[in-house]
Chains A and B, each alone.
Chain A
Amino acid sequence: MRTLYLLSIATALLATFELPAQGRGRRGQRPDLGPQPAVATPEVKPAETDKKPKAYLAIVGGDVYLGTGQRLTGATVLLADDKIEAVGHNLTLPEGTTVIDAKGKVVSPGFVCVQGYGMGAGRGAPFADSVNPFDPEIKQGLAAGVTSFLAGSASGGAMPAGGNAVIKLAYGDVKGMVLQEDSVVGMAAPLSLADREKFEDTVKKVREYLKALDEFPKTKAADANAKEPQPPAGAEKLIAVMRGQAQLWISVTGSGGFNPFGGGGRRGSPTTRTATDVDAIRQALEIATLIGRGVVLQKPTSAWLVAAEIAATNSMVMLSPRDRIPADPQDPDRTGSNLATAAILANAGVPVAVTCPVGMFGGAGVGTGGIMGQDLNTPHLDAAFAVRGGLDNRKALRTLTLDAAKILGVDRRIGSLEAGKDADVLILQGDPLHYATFVTTAIVNGKVVYELAKEPLYRHLAR
């Protein structure tokens, strides 16, 4: 035991040194993965002579959907390198700015898909080592407006688990593809009584640990021999959640199965859905209260019945408005899905992200796998169904932009056109949620990575 302990200290020490020769292994040379546990990194200031002048790119004159639900008519989006410098009217463009004329077009943040696969995402952690920046599916995703998506697993059982990354469709740029690993962890509700007790106990331990960690500098000052607090075993993911470093997604399971082919066969097919999951949602919200942070409900059927309760815990919802689950005939007013769910939740102040429907053949995430082959091509139609259910057309764009980024826990980086955020921008032919609108240009990390007229995908369609 003592040997193990020493070994772990040795490993920790090693990890703090820069060892370039050893940086080629599976875990070597990983890019900045966002906020890590508080480790002070010395700020290295480049010499003035090394400073490259910023490359400016301005998208001028388009109708700019900010992603927040607002729209600026005939505005300019100014990008500097890989970030958004400014958005507004009458901006002074720095000398040497490249200008893209977007007059008569629509400018919007790149779409963020909360579930996806393929599109160069690689096999798993560390994602930075297995992404394929030249995967042709990246172009297809960009053509549909997708600039970021969550790849990997965000599912767990009685305790948070998962292994995933927010992938950017930075075609050709391997370093630009992983925005953040493990910004999401998942668990399932309802919990059994025993699991729930264990979970509550772990939350308590994590809280004590975080408190002790917080007070450690003080404790250390008072007593030089004070030992650093150790995290409770097996609670790393929960610690990340309670520190605000990861979003907790909870898949909710209910009762009352439905199968469109009826009971005669195909039992257990993926279309078997639940008519009510109110109890599971409420338990998920109790978890939110317990950890003191909002959670994300994954495809809840009954969210429309408890919108105020969800809002009260600062929780969020991901769903497909195209998933239609019939009511239980025995209890028609309190069961089944509701086309208006996205609108009801948004009006209650709950951030909502849309994803693709659960299909008969695939369709578990945004990709090319479904038999319709449409999942990857129609994120905007999933949002269109939120409009069908009563959500304001402009606000509905949030389900693919800012709210989706919040649900992935990366809204400080992506999801809206605001100064300081990543330069992930779309230029579209018109209303982003109209079925016939195409993306004409997609920009990721400040680089033009897709142009309708230059790619083979839709070039044959004269428009």
Chain B
Amino acid sequence: MNFLPFTSSCLVLALACVSAAAQATAHLAARIVPADGAPMDHATLIEEKGKIVAMGPRALIAIPAGAKVVDHGDHWLCPGFVDLHHHVSGGGGDINDMTMPLNAELRTLDVVKPSDEAIRRTAAGGVTTTLFIPGSGTNIGGFGVLLKMRHGRSLDAMVIRKLGAMKVAQGFNPERGSGDLGLSRMGSSDLLTQLLQRGQAYEKAWREFKAGTGKQPKFEPALEQLRAVFAKEVPVLIHTAGTRDCIATSRMFQDVFPVNMVLSHGCFDGWLAAEALAKRKTPLNLGPRMYEFDRYGCVQGTCLAYWNAGCRDLSINTDAPVVAAEELQVQAAMAIRLGLPYEAALQALTIVPARQIGIGDRVGSLAVGKDADFQVTMGDPLDPRFAPLAVYIEGTLVHRLGDVR
């Protein structure tokens, strides 16, 4: 395996960390796949207080005195997967509030059900972080919440960021009747633009007020959450499919409005816009549909088309429940089958989506200082024939093979 951005920081920091720690756990494995670096054989990962404090070849890593040792034998450790397009942590109840077309004031935080079976199942597929977003029924669906797939009773134990991303649905789905969007795509684009302009002005006014250079703006609840978007604290994730909408999304959220964005889906003939998106370095979150026919009868892998055009900021989703949440691995396997390089597919489930959503420093790869979110696998973490044997979130075992049928 030939990883592009090889990092060896894990080795360096590893040696420094030998202080006795009662809560430390040493995980021994036949191979550790960091996802953003070269795999290490016969390796050790030391976890303490939910973080990775040391990692490297077994010979170089001293196990702290009093540490618990978990020997995973012949098995591998891989980072927990990250799915940025996930709809199934709500425990029932609709996530398409179809009364108004623009719902920037809504958020899925209010409907998370920590005890929901879907969360356990997601973890069973090795997925440890998800962005639980509203549906695409309305033009702005609301804000999704960024979660760790820690099944249980406490919402606080799950939430990474309350406002994970703002969900926008560009075209098609919101035209099915989510209020008055005008009679054409021009109408919906106009309404969306107007709201974003108001949000942008609102954020600017508050920023200036806080800096003492402007007077206090009038409080507007409908625009409050948009402040986080224009302060670039929270990205926008835009449901986008087809060439026309891919271009429209890139233009609107990269050129017109200076926000952090992720273009999600990119399906159907969206790949025809791949070169344009590659030039703009558009962050892509591809799926659930993994192929399209080109006009010459070739099965065009969606991921491969973007990859070949030079798009490197590329992650893969399930759009669960469209594809089952635990089949994120299958999505990557399909992408590889249809030509995406293996390393790119592995990173598309791990470090790339973590960076896209702004938590690349916490999750998405195995490295010292990061959250100890990992799965224990029998081998290739992308082979659907093997479910993860165990899944850990911040050092805590959250799933073992057989826990869910």
Contact = CB atoms under 8 A, between A and B. Distances in A.
Interface of A: 136, 140, 143, 259-266, 271, 322, 324, 326-327, 329, 336-340, 357, 359-361, 371-374, 377-378, 381, 384-385, 387-388, 393, 433-436, 438, 456-461
Contacts of B384: 381, 384-385, 388, 435
B117 A435 contact: no
Given A262-B91, A262-B94, A461-B339, 11 more contacts: A140-B299, A264-B93, A326-B117, A361-B322, A371-B322, A373-B289, A373-B291, A377-B299, A384-B383, A385-B384, A388-B387
B324 A322 contact: yes
A263 B93 CA distance: 6
B35 interface: no
A141 to B, nearest CB: 12
B287 to A, nearest CB: 9
A260 B321 contact: yes
Nearest to A140: B299
B372 interface: no
Given A361-B322, A371-B322, A435-B384, A461 B338 contact: yes
Given A262-B90, A381-B333, A371 B297 contact: no
The listed residue with most A CB atoms (<10 A of its CB), out of B118, B291, B301, B324, is: B324
A-B pairs, top 7 by smallest CB distance, nearest first, are: A262-B92, A264-B94, A260-B321, A435-B333, A264-B93, A387-B385, A338-B405
Contacts of B117: 326-327, 329
Contact of B382 (A136, A339, A435): A435
7 contacts: A261-B95, A265-B94, A324-B324, A357-B324, A374-B334, A434-B385, A458-B299
A456 B296 CA distance: 7
A231 B323 CA distance: 48
A12 B236 CA distance: 72
A435 B322 contact: no
Contacts, number: 113
Interface residues of B, number: 44
Given A262-B91, A461-B338, A372 B289 contact: yes
A433 B385 contact: yes
A326 B321 CA distance: 13
Interface residues of chain A: helix, strand, loop or mixed (majority): loop
Interface string B276-289: 00000000000011
Interface in B162-213: none
Contacts of A436: 333, 336-337
Interface string B291-323: 110001111010010000000000000001111
B312 to A, nearest CB: 20
Interface string B320-353: 1111101100100110111100000000000000
B88 interface: yes
A361 B387 CA distance: 25
B243 interface: no
A372 B387 contact: no
Given A262-B92, A387-B385, A324 B298 contact: no
B92 A378 contact: no
From A259, A260, A361, A381, name the one whose CB has the most chain B CB atoms within 10 angstroms. Answer: A260
Contact of A435 (B94, B288, B337, B339): B337
Nearest to A456: B297
Nearest to A360: B322
A381 B324 CA distance: 14
Nearest to B405: A338
A259 B91 CA distance: 10
A377 B291 contact: yes
A297 B323 CA distance: 25
Contact of A261 (B92, B290, B385, B387): B92
Contacts of A378: 334
Contact of A260 (B88, B327, B339, B382): B88
A143 B293 CA distance: 14
Contacts of A381: 330, 333, 384
A373 B405 contact: no
A339 B322 contact: no
Given A324-B121, A373-B291, A336 B324 contact: no
B336 A435 contact: yes
A371 B88 contact: no
Residue of A337, A371, A377, A436 most packed against chain B (CB within 10 A): A436
Contacts of B323: 372
Given A140-B299, A381-B333, A461-B339, A337 B405 contact: yes
A327 B405 contact: yes
B254 interface: no
Contact of B385 (A357, A360, A393): A393
B291 A388 contact: no
Contacts of B330: 381, 435
Contacts of B304: 461
B271 to A, nearest CB: 13
A265 B299 contact: no
A271 B324 CA distance: 11
A55 to B, nearest CB: 30
Contact of B297 (A136, A338, A360, A433): A136
Nearest to B121: A324
B355 to A, nearest CB: 26
A361 B304 CA distance: 24
Most chain-B CB neighbours within 10 Å: which of A136, A340, A433, A460? A460
A271 B339 CA distance: 31
Nearest to B334: A374
Nearest to A262: B92
A460 B327 CA distance: 26
Interface string B374-403: 000000001111110000000000000000
Given A324-B326, A340-B405, A381-B333, A457 B121 contact: no
Given A260-B88, A326-B117, A384-B385, A457 B298 contact: yes
Contact of A264 (B92, B288, B291): B92
Interface in B102-154: 117-118, 121
Contacts of B292: 373
A78 B304 CA distance: 38
B383 A434 contact: yes
Contacts of A259: 92
Contacts of A438: 337
B298 A261 contact: no
Contacts of A337: 405
Contacts of B338: 461
A372 B322 contact: yes
A65 to B, nearest CB: 16
A134 to B, nearest CB: 13
Nearest to B326: A324
B390 to A, nearest CB: 15
Interface centre among B88, B292, B301, B405 (most CB of A within 10 A): B405
Contact of A339 (B296, B337, B405): B405
Given A361-B322, A384-B384, A456-B297, A260 B405 contact: no
A100 B129 CA distance: 49
